[in-house]
Structure 1
C-alpha cells in the first residue's frame, strides 16, 4: 500500500509539473492583442538626408500582438485592455512567413502613398507609378485558389489595366456573378494569365476573391528614406505623411507638441480605418502625447448589418479615453488636410 501511495504521489507530481509546463510555456492557436507603445517617426524616416531637429515629435502607435499560453489567456480574459484573437482571425489562414510578407507589402504601400501625399501637399514635383496590386490572400471559394499566390502582382483584368486598386475593384464588382474573367499577373518575374469566375464576396459585392494592396513606386527628386526594418502594416500612413509634409513645407507645424496618431493614407489624402483604436490611444496617452489623430469614417453598411453595435475608430478611441480618463486631445479626421489644418489652428504662436 505504501508503495502504491508513493507511486500515485510521484505520478501526481509529474502530471502536475507537465500541466504547469504546458499552461505556462506551450503556445495555443490564439494571440493576445494589447496596447503597445508609441515611436518617434524620426527613428525610421529621414527627408533630404537631414535630421529633423525641430522641437516636439510625430509618433506612430502600435499594438502588441503575441502568441498566448493557457495562463496568458486567463490573464488576458481578466484584462479589459487586452483582446483574445484566434490565429485564423489574425492571419486569415496565412502562415507566419506569409503573414510577415503581407504586412511588409502593407508597409511598402503605406510609405509610397505617404511620400506621394507629403510631396504633393508640399507642392513638390512628384509622380506615383501604379504597377498593379499585390495579392495578399486568396479566399477558399475563389476560382483562382492555388493559381494566384501571395506576392503575385495582378496587372490586368479582361485585358484592362488600371491606375489604382479602387479602379480595379470597381470594374471587377461591376461584372456579373458567375461570368468568365481573365486575370493577367506577374509571378516570379513571369507574365502570366489565368481564367476564372466572378464570385460573391463576404461584403456582398462581386469579385474574384483576393485580398490586395497597391504595388506602386514614387518618382521625385526629393530624397525620402524609410528604415522601418521588421515593422509592418499600413496604419502609420497618416503620421508618415504629416512628418514628410512638415519637413518639406512647414518645419514649425508641430510647435513643440508630442503628436501621435493612426490611420492609413490614400492616394487622394483620405485617412482610412485601422484596428485597435482603443488600444492605440491608450499607448499614445501613456507615452505622453497631447494630441491623437484617429480616423472617423462611417461604418460600412454591410458591417452594420452583421454587427449593429460596430463603432467608428473615433468612437472606439473616445470610449477608451472616457473609461480610463486619459489626458489627451482626440482629433477625428477623414483627410490628411484636416490634421494639418488642426495643427495650424492650434499653434501657440
Structure 2
C-alpha cells in the first residue's frame, strides 16, 4: 500500500512539474530586455563603428507564460501580462512575426533616409511593390497570397505607389479576373482570380490590406541587420548610429547612450510601448543618457485616462524608481537628439 502511495505521489509531482513548466497559457509576459550595442547591427561604407563608447537600442522581452513563470514574474517589478488577443489579434505566430519584420524594415528605411539627409549625403527611395499586410477571409486570392508577400505587377502593369495600384483596380469591375505577379519567399509567382466587392467601400478589390514596399538606396553603402529584433521602436537609435558614422562627428564622446522611439521619414520621433522596461534595460547596461519620445497627451488620451503619462514622463518616473543616474532626455524630432549631443 505504501509503495503504491509513493508511486502515485511521484507521478502526481511529475505531472505538476510538467504542467507548471511547459503548459503554454494564452498570456504573454512583457519584461525588461537588453540594451544591444548598435555597432553589431550597423555598417557604413563597409565598416563597423569602433569609436569609444556605445549607442544602444533597448528591447522588451516577450515570452508566452507557463504557470510557474506566470506566478514568478507576477512578483517582479516592471512586468506586464498581455493576452494573446491584445498582442496578435487573430494573427498566427508566423503572421505576427512577418508583420514585425515589415515594421522593422520600414523603420530601417526611414532611419537611413533621415540620417543621410542630415549628413548631406545622397539617397534614393526605390519602390519594390505592394506589401501584403492582411488578407480578408473572403478574398479570392486567399489561397495564393500570404502575409509578407510583395505584389509587383497586376495585369502586366507596374506601379510606383499603393495609391496608383488602388486607382487601377478601382477602374475594373467586380468579378473581373485579374492576373497578379508576386514574390513569395523570394520566388516569383502568378495568380489569376476575380476581383471581389470590398465590404466597406463596395469598390472592386483583391481583398487585402496593403502598403508600399520600398527600399532606400545610397551612394555610400549602408547595411543594417537587426537579427531577431522586430518592430519599429529602434528607428531613432538606428538613425543616430548611421548618422554618427556617416558624418564622422562621433558625438557620443565615449559615453554609453541608449534610447527608443520610432522614426518617421520626416524625422519625427514617435511613441512606443514598454518604455519603463527599456529604461531598466539601459540602466543595467550602464547607459548615462536615455532618449525618450516626448509628445503631449491628446484629448482622447486624457479622456480615457486622466493620469495619462507620455513616454518621457514614464521614463523619468521609472529612472527615479530604480534610483538611476541616467539623464532622461525628451525628444520630438531627430534634430533634438543632435542638438543635445552637440551641446
- The alignment's TM-score, normalised by the length of structure 1, stands at 0.79
Task: Report the number of matched residues.
Answer: 324
Select which of 311, 314, 317 maps to 1:316: 314
Do the aligned partners of 2:40 and 2:48 also contact (CA within 8 Å) in 1? no
SS in 2 for 1:114: helix
Offset at residue 318 of structure 1 (A): 1.8
Partner of 1:37: 34
Report the Cα distance in structure 2 between the residues aligned to 1:65 and 1:199, rounded to whole angstroms.
35
SS in 1 for 2:48: coil
Report the Cα distance in structure 2 between the residues aligned to 1:340 and 1:85, rounded to whole angstroms.
35
Offset at residue 297 of structure 1 (A): 2.3
Partner of 2:52: 55
Structure 1: gaps (5+ residues): 173-179, 201-207
Is 1:125 aligned with 2:122? yes
Structure 2: gaps (5+ residues): 168-173
Report the Cα distance in structure 2 between the residues aligned to 1:82 and 1:239, rounded to whole angstroms.
24
Do the aligned partners of 2:134 and 2:208 also contact (CA within 8 Å) in 1? yes
Is 1:291 aligned with 2:289? yes
Worse-superposed segment, 301-310 or 33-42? 301-310
Partner of 1:197: 198
Partner of 1:177: none
CA pair 224-78 structure 1, distance change in 2 beyond 3 A: same
1:239-254 alignment, distance < 5 Å: 239-254=237-252
CA pair 52-209 structure 1, distance change in 2 beyond 3 A: same
Report the Cα distance in structure 1 between the residues aligned to 2:35 and 2:253, rounded to whole angstroms.
19
Deviation per CA, 1:54-113: give whole Å up to 9, x if none: 222111010111222101111121112111112222223322222222222122111111
Partner of 2:213: 215
Select which of 12, 17, 23 maps to 2:14: 17
Offset at residue 257 of structure 1 (A): 1.5
SS in 2 for 1:135: strand
Do the aligned partners of 2:196 and 2:207 also contact (CA within 8 Å) in 1? no
Partner of 1:101: 98
SS in 2 for 1:61: strand
Select which of 209, 221, 234 maps to 1:236: 234
Report the Cα distance in structure 2 between the residues aligned to 1:144 and 1:121, rounded to whole angstroms.
45
Report the Cα distance in structure 1 between the residues aligned to 2:88 and 2:141, rounded to whole angstroms.
17
RMSD over aligned Cα atoms: 3.6
Select which of 42, 60, 64 maps to 2:61: 64
CA pair 39-125 structure 1, distance change in 2 beyond 3 A: same
Report the Cα distance in structure 1 between the residues aligned to 2:147 and 2:300, rounded to whole angstroms.
27
CA pair 28-233 structure 1, distance change in 2 beyond 3 A: same
Offset at residue 11 of structure 1 (A): 2.9
Worse-superposed segment, 94-103 or 235-244? 94-103
Report the Cα distance in structure 2 between the residues aligned to 1:60 and 1:127, rounded to whole angstroms.
26
Do the aligned partners of 1:186 and 1:192 also contact (CA within 8 Å) in 2? no
Do the aligned partners of 2:152 and 2:182 also contact (CA within 8 Å) in 1? no
Report the Cα distance in structure 2 between the residues aligned to 1:49 and 1:33, rounded to whole angstroms.
36
Deviation per CA, 1:178-224: give whole Å up to 9, x if none: xx9x9997644448784443649xxxxxxx99776642111211110
Partner of 1:77: 74
